[in-house]
A and B are shown apart, each in its own frame.
Chain A
Amino acid sequence: MTEIELLNWARGPGLQIATIIFVAGVVIRIIEILMLGRKPNLAEAKGSEMSAGLKTMVSRTVPDRATFKRSSFTITAGYFFHLGLFITFFMFAPHILLIRDVIGFGWPALPTPVVDAFAVITIISLLAVLVNRLTNKVMRYLTNFGDLLTWFLTLAPLVTGYIAFHRIGFTAPTLLAMHILSVELLLIVFPFTKLMHAFTLFLARWYNGAISGYRGVAS
Chain B
Amino acid sequence: MSASLDKGINALKQQVDASVAAFFSSCVHCGICAEACLFYTETGDPERTPINKTEPLRRIWKSEYTLMGRLGKLLGLSKKVDDKLLADWETLVYDSCTMCGRCSMVCPVGNDITLMIRKTREGMAAAGHAPEGLIGASKRSVTIGSPMGVKLPALLAQVRHVEEDSGLKVPLDVVGAEYMLLLSSMEIMNFPEFIEAIARIFDKANASWTISTEAFEATNSGIQIGVSDIAAELVQRIVDAAEKLKVKTVISPECGHAYMAIRWDGPNLVGKKFGFKVRHVLEVLDDLRQQGRLTTTGMEKGKLTYHDPCQISRRGGVIDEPRRLIDMVSDNFVEMPDHGKMNWCCGAGGGVSANERADEIRLKVFQRKKDQFDAIRPDAIVSACSNCRIHLEDGLEEYNMDIPLLSLTEMIAEHLGDDDRAGAA
| Chain A residues within CB distance 8 Å of chain B | 28-29, 32-39, 41-44, 46-47, 56-57, 60-61, 63-64, 66-67, 70-71, 74-75, 78, 136-144, 147, 192, 194, 196-197, 200-201, 203-209, 211-212, 215-219
Contact = CB atoms under 8 A, between A and B. Distances in A.
Contacts of B66: 29, 32
Nearest to A215: B317
Contacts of B104: 208, 212, 219
Contacts of B51: 142
Contacts of A70: 35-36, 41
A143 to B, nearest CB: 6
B110 A217 contact: no
A37 B30 CA distance: 27
A32 B69 CA distance: 12
A203 B32 CA distance: 19
Contacts of A142: 29, 31, 46, 49, 51-52
A60 B66 CA distance: 26
B319 to A, nearest CB: 7
Contacts of A218: 341
B206 interface: no
B302 interface: no
B274 interface: yes
B68 A63 contact: no
A57 B265 CA distance: 24
B273 to A, nearest CB: 5
B29 A201 contact: no
Contacts of A44: 267, 273-274, 277-278
Interface string B1-38: 00000000000000011111111011111111011100
B172 interface: no
Contact of A207 (B19, B68, B274): B19
Contacts of B107: 60, 208
A136 to B, nearest CB: 6
A153 B149 CA distance: 58
Nearest to A60: B110
B31 A33 contact: no
B243 to A, nearest CB: 16
A28 to B, nearest CB: 6
B64 to A, nearest CB: 10
Contact of B17 (A36, A137, A138, A197): A36
Contact of B268 (A41, A61, A196): A41
B106 interface: yes
A209 B104 CA distance: 10
B425 interface: no
A196 B341 CA distance: 30
B25 A208 contact: no
8 closest cross-chain pairs (CB), A and B: A205-B110, A216-B317, A141-B46, A42-B267, A138-B31, A203-B22, A70-B35, A207-B19
Interface string B103-139: 0111111111001000000000000000000000000
A206 B112 CA distance: 10
Contacts of A136: 31
B271 interface: yes
Contacts of B36: 67, 70
Contacts of A206: 110
Given A42-B273, A56-B110, A208-B110, A137 B29 contact: no
B331 interface: no
B315 interface: yes
B67 A29 contact: yes
A60 B108 contact: yes
Interface in B391-421: none
A145 to B, nearest CB: 11
A67 B30 contact: no
B268 A63 contact: no
Given A37-B17, A203-B22, A207-B19, 14 more contacts: A28-B67, A34-B18, A43-B268, A56-B110, A60-B108, A61-B108, A66-B337, A201-B26, A201-B108, A203-B26, A204-B22, A205-B110, A215-B264, A217-B341
Interface in B76-103: none
Contacts of B27: 194, 197
B294 to A, nearest CB: 21
B234 to A, nearest CB: 16
B316 interface: yes
A57 B22 CA distance: 13
Contacts of A29: 25, 66-67
B317 A217 contact: yes
Given A78-B30, A204-B23, A207-B19, A67 B35 contact: yes
12 contacts: A29-B66, A32-B67, A37-B17, A38-B18, A43-B267, A70-B35, A141-B46, A142-B49, A196-B26, A207-B22, A217-B315, A218-B341
B52 A64 contact: no
